């Protein structure tokens, strides 16, 4: 399963109504640290394939979502479970630290 | 273009310098802030000194040793590090920009977290340590920069064209020199940062309150964790995350000594500096 693209239009369906855990990476194309986070997110998506949905939100195109989830620094990675936020990581974060919350 | 720029001139930085220089690489060591070694009066647990040694003396000897090997050593303040073209990096100081293929962080473990109530609590919720990363979220807002040195000025300059207004909060320190239409300076001491879910206002010790949407912390001299966050190097509680070869998650960027955490001992710093140096040599051989 590859990394999905979450947007204002599909966020409710893809993230909030999903049973179990969903990982969402808030990023922007101009953000240097986000580029370093990107391969880590790809790795995570491969490792949790079939178990956890993994996707990205471009904050430039989805400002309402960034505001809704109080994203004020990128990259921010939020883990949802049954539509509720259970963990937020701010800044480039180690893969294993994120994987621990997806178990 | 340098092969290697080492930031920090304590035991880790100098050791990395010695090994990379002896491999005929073009090496620059930049340092500014005092090493914790310099503040240690007497070291009695390091190999080879029967009567112990004065920390300051050992620190100065290390710098002279590097200079005697014809390593470029500059006492300048690094205010920014940027990703350049083709796997290179730009290290920017108050005097100029130096390009390099490898950056080795050896800046010690100093972290400038202000002892102001509310700062820690609102990290990522209005308190930021990186203007270039987070400035976007404060477009046309009234924000603050906490600090009064060159680093605070550099962060302010990143935000000038984004924010509506910027107030430089010196928290009792003297005002820096900066002139821009939308920049003010407030030298009053701060009591607390307040807000509901995110930063909303600052209360000064004179009981006055001022609204602000965000506070960018840029106190003193920027440390390795500050640069790491701007570049995208993985950190954990302000320590740089490295593997057993002192490599970070970014190609050509290494860290050694106290900034990687663990025991704060000279022996550990010398080992890590050595390892980072040797690994940088391998990396450059492969890249060239």
Position A38 scores a pLDDT of: 93
Q: Are A74 and A63 in contact (CB under 8 A)?
A: no
Is the pLDDT reported for residue A34 higher than 80? yes
Residue of B136, B159, B230, B237 to mutate, interface with A, max A Cβ within 10 Å: B136
Query: Residue range B90-98: average pLDDT?
Result: 95
Instruction: Please tell me the pTM assigned to this model.
Output: 0.88
Is A101 an interface residue toward B (CB < 8 Å)? no
Query: Which helix (H) or strand (E) covers residue A47, if one does?
Result: helix A32-47
Q: Dihedrals φ, ψ of B185, to 5°?
A: -125, 135
Is the pLDDT reported for residue B113 higher than 90? no
Is A98 an interface residue toward B (CB < 8 Å)? no
Residue of B81, B122, B123, B124 to mutate, interface with A, max A Cβ within 10 Å: B124
Query: Residue range B250-257: average pLDDT?
Result: 96
Contacts of B126 in chain A (CB under 8 A): 72
Query: Residue range B208-225: average pLDDT?
Result: 91
Is the pLDDT reported for residue B164 higher than 80? yes
Q: Which two tokens stand for residue A23?
A: 């990982």
Query: Residue range B37-52: average pLDDT?
Result: 88
Pairwise CB contact (< 8 Å): B197 & A36:
no
Model pLDDT for residues B7-21, shown as the tens digit of each residue: 999 999 999 999 999
Q: Mean of the per-residue pLDDT values for chain B? A: 93
> Which comes out higher in pLDDT, residue A30 or A41?
A41
Banded pLDDT at B34 (limits 50, 70, 90): low
Per CATH, B2-110+222-287 and B127-217 having the same topology is answered yes
Q: Which residues between 3 and 32 in chain A have a beta carbon less than 8 angstroms from any beta carbon of chain B? A: 28, 30-32
Closest approach of B131 to chain A, Cα-based (Å)? 10
Closest approach of A16 to chain B, Cα-based (Å)? 21
Question: Taking the domains of chain B in order of start, what are their residue ranges?
Answer: 2-110+222-287, 127-217
Query: Residue range B254-270: average pLDDT?
Result: 94
Position B179 scores a pLDDT of: 85
Is the pLDDT reported for residue A32 higher than 90? no
Is the pLDDT reported for residue B238 higher than 90? no
**Contacts with B11 (C-beta within 8 Å, 6 or more apart), sequence order:** B37, B62, B257, B266, B269, B270, B273
The CA distances from residue A84 to A31, A99, B68, in Å, are 27, 18, 61
> Which comes out higher in pLDDT, residue A70 or B248?
B248
Position B11 scores a pLDDT of: 96
Percent of chain B past pLDDT 90, that is, above it, reads: 76
Is A88 an interface residue toward B (CB < 8 Å)? yes
CATH class given for the domain over B2-110+222-287: alpha beta
Using CA coordinates, name the residue in chain B closest to A89.
B124
Whether domain A4-102 has CATH 3.40.30.10: yes
Using CA coordinates, name the residue in chain A closest to B233.
A92
Is the pLDDT reported for residue B274 higher than 70? yes
Pairwise CB contact (< 8 Å): B198 & A73:
no
Closest approach of A33 to chain B, Cα-based (Å)? 4
Annotation marks residue A49 as catalytic: no
Q: Which fold has domain B127-217?
A: FAD/NAD(P)-binding domain (3.50.50)
Pairwise CB contact (< 8 Å): A72 & B250:
no
Position B270 scores a pLDDT of: 97
Q: Are B150 and B178 in contact (CB under 8 A)?
A: no
- What does chain A come to in residues? 103
Banded pLDDT at B33 (limits 50, 70, 90): low
Pairwise CB contact (< 8 Å): A36 & B231:
yes
Q: What is the ipTM of this complex?
A: 0.79
Position A1 scores a pLDDT of: 58
Closest approach of A64 to chain B, Cα-based (Å)? 12
Question: Taking the domains of chain A in order of start, what are their residue ranges?
Answer: 4-102
Is the pLDDT reported for residue B62 higher than 70? yes
């Amino acid at each position: 399963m590859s990394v999905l693209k979450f947007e204002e239009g599909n966020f409710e369906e893809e993230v909030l109504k999903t049973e179990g855990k969903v990982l969402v990476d808030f990023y922007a194309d101009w953000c240097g640290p986000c580029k370093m986070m990107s391969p880590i997110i790809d790795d995570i998506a491969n490792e949790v394939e079939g178990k956890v949905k993994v996707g990205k939100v471009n904050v430039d195109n989805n400002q309402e979502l960034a505001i809704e989830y109080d994203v004020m620094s990128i990259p921010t990675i939020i883990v949802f479970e049954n539509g509720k936020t259970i963990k937020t990581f701010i800044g480039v974060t180690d893969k294993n630290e994120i994987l621990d919350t997806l178990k | 273009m340098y092969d290697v720029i080492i930031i920090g001139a304590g035991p880790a930085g100098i050791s990395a310098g010695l090994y990379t220089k002896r491999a005929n690489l073009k090496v620059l060591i930049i340092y500014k802030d005092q090493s914790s070694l310099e503040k240690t009066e007497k070291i009695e647990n390091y190999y080879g000194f029967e009567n112990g040694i004065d920390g300051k003396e050992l620190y100065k000897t290390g710098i002279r040793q590097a200079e005697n090997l014809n390593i470029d050593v500059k006492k300048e303040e690094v205010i920014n590090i940027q990703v350049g073209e083709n796997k290179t990096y730009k290290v920017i100081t108050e005097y100029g920009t130096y390009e390099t293929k490898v950056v080795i962080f050896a800046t010690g473990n100093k972290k400038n977290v202000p002892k102001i109530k509310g700062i820690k609590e609102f990290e990522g919720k209005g308190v930021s340590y990186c203007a270039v990363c987070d400035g976007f979220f404060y477009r046309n807002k009234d924000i603050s920069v906490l600090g009064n040195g060159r680093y605070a000025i550099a962060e302010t300059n990143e935000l000038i064209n984004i924010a509506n207004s910027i107030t430089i909060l010196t928290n009792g320190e003297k005002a820096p020199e900066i002139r821009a239409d939308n920049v003010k300076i407030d030298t009053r001491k701060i009591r607390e940062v307040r807000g509901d879910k995110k930063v909303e206002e600052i209360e000064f010790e004179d009981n006055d309150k001022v609204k602000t949407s965000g506070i960018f912390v840029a106190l003193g001299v920027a440390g390795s964790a500050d640069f790491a966050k701007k570049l995208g190097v993985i950190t954990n509680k302000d320590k740089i995350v490295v593997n057993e070869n002192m490599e970070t998650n970014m190609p050509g960027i290494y860290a050694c000594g106290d900034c990687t955490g663990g025991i704060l001992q000279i022996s550990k710093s010398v080992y890590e500096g050595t390892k980072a140096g040797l690994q940088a040599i391998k990396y450059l051989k492969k890249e060239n």
